[in-house]
Amino acid sequence: MAFLRQDTNNIVVDAVLTDTGRAKLAQGNFSIFSFAFGDDEVDYGTIQKYGQNVGKEKIEKNTPVFEALTNTNLAIKHTLTSISNPNQVYMPQMTVSGLTSGVLTLVEGNKSSGLTINVSMSPVIGGNVPSELVDNIFIVYVNRLFLSVDGNRPVNSAALSNNPTLNTARYEIPSSGLATPITFIANDLPSSVYNAYSSFSGGSYISTYIRIVGRNSGLSKEIQVKISAT
């Protein structure tokens, strides 16, 4: 991340390796091929409240900057995207089909029905998705205690192996692979574990979430998952 020091007008960059980056460095295959900036700290409601000019000034002067994080799952969640068309005023929308009432319902040890990800401009707006926002990779985050992506291996598997307390598995699904809808597998849990986690929902199911992010567009979608006992 970077921020402007008001006293010297210098740009100070604080960069750290994530858990996955350190694992790759230890394996000897670490290389940087891209980077991203984010605006997780910014409250754009300030512009709505004070207007564009005053709101922008308040954001620039008063917004605290987060420290760099080594945990990939807590790092930038809202990436900034560059668009060459200066007249682009609408963003595409991400939709996921194959859900019932927006929720994915699973039974322990079973596979889900396939989910299909679609990114398109709103039917009201029409037109094609700008080339910079066409996603070639979709990143899928799941809690490995409860779920896995059928037929895929987490890209952060090394970090998961080295850190037993890290539970968020990250999968990268090529958009070309979406011709076959994504299926998820609910883990078959010991009764004690199931009862412990299902107690938060009255003992009837375990509630967790899947997060899907488009690598280029930055669009994201969170899906609630309810896992019932066998």
79 part of a folded domain: no
| 116 touches 178 (CB < 8 A) | yes
Same domain, 42 and 105: no
88 part of a folded domain: no
**What is the pLDDT averaged over residues 2-10?**
58
pLDDT digits (tens, 9 = 90+) for 115-158: 888 888 877 777 788 888 888 889 999 999 999 999 899 988 88
Same domain, 115 and 212: yes
Mean pLDDT, the chain, integer: 83
Residue percentage of the chain with pLDDT more than 70: 90
Look at residues 62, 82, 107 and tell me which one is the last residue of a structural domain: 62
For the cut 70, the answer to whether the pLDDT of residue 9 exceeds it is: no
Look at residues 62, 80, 114 and tell me which one is the last residue of a structural domain: 62
Burial 173-192 (b: 16+ CB within 10 A, else e): bebeebeeebbbbbbebeee
- Predicted confidence at residue 154, as pLDDT, reads 92
Which of 94-98, 105-109, 118-122 has the highest average model confidence (pLDDT)? 105-109
Same domain, 51 and 102: no
Higher-pLDDT residue of 33 and 86 is 86
83 part of a folded domain: no
72 part of a folded domain: no
CA–CA distances in Å: residue 56 to residues 7, 44, 45, 91, 198: 20, 9, 11, 21, 45
Report pTM. Answer: 0.74
pLDDT digits (tens, 9 = 90+) for 207-229: 999 999 888 888 888 999 999 99
The total number of structural domains in the chain stands at: 2
224 part of a folded domain: yes
Same domain, 102 and 153: yes
| CATH assignment of the domain containing 198 | 2.60.40.1080
For the cut 60, the answer to whether the pLDDT of residue 90 exceeds it is: yes
Q: CA–CA separation, 193 vs 145, rounded Å?
A: 10
Same domain, 36 and 129: no
Same domain, 137 and 221: yes
84 part of a folded domain: no
Same domain, 166 and 222: yes
Same domain, 51 and 131: no
| Domain interval for residue 209 | 93-228
Same domain, 124 and 178: yes
Phi, psi of 9, rounded to the nearest 5 degrees = 60, 30
Look at residues 45, 62, 79 and tell me which one is the last residue of a structural domain: 62
Same domain, 124 and 219: yes
76 part of a folded domain: no
Same domain, 116 and 42: no
Residue of 185, 175, 171 lying closest to 114 (CA atoms): 185
Same domain, 110 and 204: yes
149 part of a folded domain: yes
